Amino acid sequence: MTVAAAAEGPLDAGERRRVAERLGREASPTELAMLGVLWSEHCSYRTSRRLLRQLPVGGPRVVQGPGENAGVVDLGGDLLCCFKIESHNHPSAVEPVQGAATGVGGILRDVFAMGARPVALLDAIRFGEPTDPVQALRFARVVEGIGWYGNCVGVPTVGGETVFDPAYRDNCLVNAMCVGLVARDRLRHARASGPGNLVLLVGADTGRDGIGGAAFASAAFDHDREQKRPAVQVGNPFLEKCLIEACQELATVPGIVALQDCGAAGLTSSCAEMAHRGGVGLDLDVAQVSRRERQMTPAEVMLSESQERMVLVVEPAGVAQVRACFERWGLHSDAIGTVTASGRLRVRDGAVIAADLPLDLLVAGSPEHRPPAHPPADLAARRARDPLDGADPPDPRRALQRLLLAGNCGEARWVWRQYDHMVGDDTVSGPGGDAAVLRLRGRDEGLALTVDGGHRSSPYAPRTAAAAAVFEAARNLAAVGAEPLAVTNCLNCGSPDQPVGMWQLEETVAGLGDACRALGIPIVSGNVSLYNDTLGHGIPPTAVVGMVGRLAPLARRAGIGFAAPGHTVLLVGPPDPSAEPGAGLGGSELQRVLSGGCHGPAPVVDADREASAQRLVRGAIRAGLLASAHDLSLGGLAVALTDACCGRGVGCSIQLPAFLGTDRRVQTAWLFGEVGARFLVSCEPASSAALRALADDEDVPVCELGTTGGDELSVLGLLAVPLAELGAWWGGAIAGALAAAGRA
């Protein structure tokens, strides 16, 4: 994207007049370019910011909420946890490897800008069907980009979520989450202060890559998708590793006032936002910026999104030591400006003034965008439809096979085997379980991490679907024995300029807030990605929730796989989905596989039921009562049983509860319904009574299903699958689909 195109940005004629009136003159091309990117949806949140104010952001463990590079929570003692999730959807759709890679690089910088050392990465990615050669290529290349950057930089990728659905064919989702640890006295902030202090640009040199990236991320796709390739940044993970280590050394350097990632909108956003937070101004000279391309204009330097760069504010006495630190790591450290008391961002190129803008106009002056919001006209009809459209219930064995071979319900080993999830030597439980677990060195405690997306019913039940994402993330932590601490979120939606799209955004934010308030979990950071839309066709509203939790003691944790033969298998939570509206089949994975549809009553979300079931499972794990635990989600009980059998190669024999009777639709709902607040657990027979006593205290139903053992998954009267065959379905779907598309 050219600077001229970036200058046009989201500013319409009325907004340009508003700027001219405020300045008392016409804005210069450089000023228009800077305003264009900072007033874009991607940077200003002009549509969503009024909605985000409704979210719960405070709590006893919150050290830093939204508004900084990353959120921070207290782990006790002198240890803090920094984390955030962001999207790189548009860049990944245009240039999958670099789009995904620079998404990883950017989220890493958000975390180590807080002074933290990154210790883990997670990703949530969504594409069209993998049997489509175009989708297979894009998917494989995104996985390549995530793995390449994370592996080279030396931060383990410990978990994530991979989903395939035709709804993401034209607009893939690539969300990256980073988690870091920092001592309390080493926490950094991005608030400039102290007139006379110096501004340093450190790290890589500056080029023309990524110019206009923020504006590009704020617009829907049309026929010129390929022409936007220059707006995608180019990453260098080895340089980022040096930048991480140099920034870690800054903890011992006196005089560091502020540290800020140089990401979307480049120097414009990093400098303007840092100064605005601190209530000061900045004078910059772009002639002092190290460049890898000649004859860059001031606007190009200010808008460049070249990667692996940070901006520091340093007291004059500390500058020499800071520059020596970066020189040791082979990185630039250019003194490009000073802090002033003006409240303005002034940009010059040597003696020539290129821009002089008040920060309250540049950073906070974008007008709110309030498009009309209306639900779809067929909302009531979609919610009322029979989830299976009156069809006869499917054969359970064939239905399970189709679910597992469709790619969403089986193991994603093909993906995570390309990621180094053990580097750093702190990964206790990596990809493939409900939540990853890292050890906290020097403590008998662990840090549990997960990322989950909203339910497929989101197009017509966005509030419920977003709440379900929060509840599922919390269940994932409970399934390993961890207590949730806080949430980061990425709200991926279509165009808010369409009334249905705006309604979906409003409902998604509301559902996220409902669930977090109900569970008492604060939201400390996040991202909004709008205009995931191509030629008027947007994605389903997709709330992706990252959650961290504390696990103590570390030795008392559970996994999804049945641990040994002879254990009792139990279902915790509502035993009979057929009693729920839609039987848990509305918008379910079974419905998608059988008919490609998405309708019917959305699964019920019940916060009290969720909280009670989660407390029960956490308490049982901490008491040493459970040998395995796994939350029920996509594919219901049938897929949870498959995961548990294939996890450690231990089969099971399950009896149908008597209350199901012989109605095949009721039995189908029991096996495949996606009702929340449910867990599949196993325990030694001697522990069953103690588990039931805990369940009585929490008023949570517990239903005994059968026993572990044997070489098959058997649900008597419904299905029997040898483990060897089941494992092939469970583990081979993604690789098989890519092979069929010629991309294995």
Render pLDDT for 390-426 as a digit per residue (tens, 0 to 9): 889 999 999 999 999 999 999 999 999 999 999 998 9
Based on its alpha-carbon atoms, the radius of gyration of the chain, rounded to whole angstroms, reads 26
pLDDT, residue 445, reads 96
Q: Rounded to an integer, what distance in angstroms lies between the CA atom of residue 107 and that of residue 114? A: 12
CA 347 from chain centre, in angstroms, equals 35
| 512 and 85 Cβ atoms separated by less than 8 Å | no
Nearest to 90 by CA among 77, 100, 104: 100
pLDDT value, residue 212: 63
Q: Residue 343's pLDDT is what? A: 97
Q: What's the pLDDT at 222?
A: 60
Name the strand (E) or helix (H) holding 491. strand 483-492
Tell me the pLDDT of the chain averaged across its residues: 94
SS3 613: helix
Mean pLDDT of 662-687: 95
Which two tokens mark 741? 């598309």
Alpha carbon distance 382, 320 (integer Å) = 65
The residue with tokens 């549809």 is 597
| Ordered DSSP codes for 240-307 | HHHHHHHHHHGGGSTTEEEEEE--TTHHHHHHHHHHHHHT-EEEEEGGGS-BSSSS--HHHHHH---S
- List, in sequence order, the alpha helices (H) in 369-439: 379-384, 396-405, 413-416
Contact residues for 418 (Cβ-Cβ < 8 A; gap 6+):
143, 144, 147
- Would the pLDDT of 1 be above 60? no
pLDDT in tens, 438-475: 999 999 999 999 999 999 999 999 999 999 999 999 99
**Given this model, what pLDDT does residue 264 score?**
84
Whether 551 and 438 have beta carbons less than 8 Å apart is answered as no
Angle of the 13-23 helix axis to the 29-38 helix axis, nearest 10: 120
Could you confirm whether 369 is annotated as catalytic?
no
The per-residue pLDDT for range 520-540, each reduced to its tens digit, is 999 999 999 999 999 989 999
Confidence of residue 216 (pLDDT cuts 50, 70, 90): low
**734-743 average pLDDT score:** 86
- pLDDT the model gives residue 83: 98
Q: What is the pLDDT of residues 469-514, one digit of tens each?
A: 999 999 999 999 999 999 999 999 999 999 999 999 999 999 999 9
- Percent of the chain predicted with pLDDT > 70: 96
Tokens matching residue 632: 């029920």
Share of the chain above pLDDT 90, in %: 88
Q: With left for phi above 0 and alpha for psi between -120 and 50, is residue 584 left, alpha or beta?
A: left
Determine the average pLDDT of the residues in 293-316: 94
Give residue 734's pLDDT: 93
Residues 155-171 have a mean pLDDT of: 96
Domain limits, CATH 3.90.650.10, in the chain: 1-39+189-364, 558-744
pLDDT for the residue numbered 211: 82
What share of residues in the chain are helix, strand, coil (percent, to 5)?
Answer: 40, 25, 35
Sheet containing 568-572: which strands, arranged edge to edge? 628-631, 679-683, 568-572, 702-708, 652-654, 712-715, 719-722
Angstrom distance (rounded) from CA 633 to CA 471: 10
pLDDT of residue 11: 85
In degrees, to the nearest 5, what angle opens at C-alpha 526 toward C-alphas 524 and 528? 150
Give the pLDDT confidence score for residue 252 in this predicted structure: 86
**CATH, range 1-39+189-364:** 3.90.650.10
Contact criterion met (CB below 8 Å) for 176 and 86: yes
Q: In degrees to the nearest 10, what's the CA dihedral of 426, 430, 434, 437?
A: 0
Three-state helix/strand/coil letters over 661-679 = CCCHHHHHHHHHCCCCCCE
Q: Give the separation between CA 408 and CA 166, rounded to whole angstroms.
A: 12
How far from the centroid of its chain's Cα atoms is residue 516's Cα?
Answer: 16
Instruction: Measure the CA–CA gap between 688 and 704, rounded to whole angstroms.
Output: 9
Check residue 110 and give its pLDDT. Answer: 97
Backbone angles phi, psi at 354, to 5 degrees: -100, -30
Residue 4 predicted with pLDDT over 50: no
Residue 706 has a pLDDT of 98
Tokens at 603, concatenated: 């699964």
DSSP H or E segment with residue 3 = helix 3-8
pLDDT for 228: 54
How big is the CA angle at 67 (ends 65 and 69), to the nearest 5 degrees? Answer: 90
pLDDT exceeds cutoff 50 at 8: no
Strand, coil or helix: what is 718?
A: coil
For range 23-34, the mean pLDDT: 95
With beta carbons less than 8 A apart as the criterion, state whether 667 and 716 touch.
no
Task: Please state, in angstroms and rounded to a whole number, the distance separating the CA atoms of residues 309 and 102.
Answer: 12
Domain 558-744 class in CATH: alpha beta
Beta-carbon count within 10 A of 595 CB: 13
CA-nearest of 86, 116, 286 to 201 is 286
**Per-residue pLDDT, 733:** 92
pTM: 0.95
C-alpha to C-alpha distance for 533 and 536, rounded to whole angstroms: 6
Query: pLDDT for 74-122, tens place per residue?
Result: 999 999 999 999 999 999 999 999 999 999 999 999 999 999 999 999 9
pLDDT tens-digit map of 324-369: 999 999 999 999 999 999 999 999 999 999 999 999 999 999 999 9
- Residue 374 known to be catalytic: no
Token look-up 């570390």 returns 554
**What 3-state DSSP class applies to 143?**
helix
pLDDT tens digits, 133-154: 999 999 999 999 999 999 999 9
User: Assign residue 76 a region: left if phi > 0, alpha if psi is -120 to 50, beta otherwise?
Assistant: left
The whole-angstrom separation of Cα 744 and Cα 737 is 8
Predicted confidence band of residue 220 (pLDDT cuts 50, 70, 90) = low
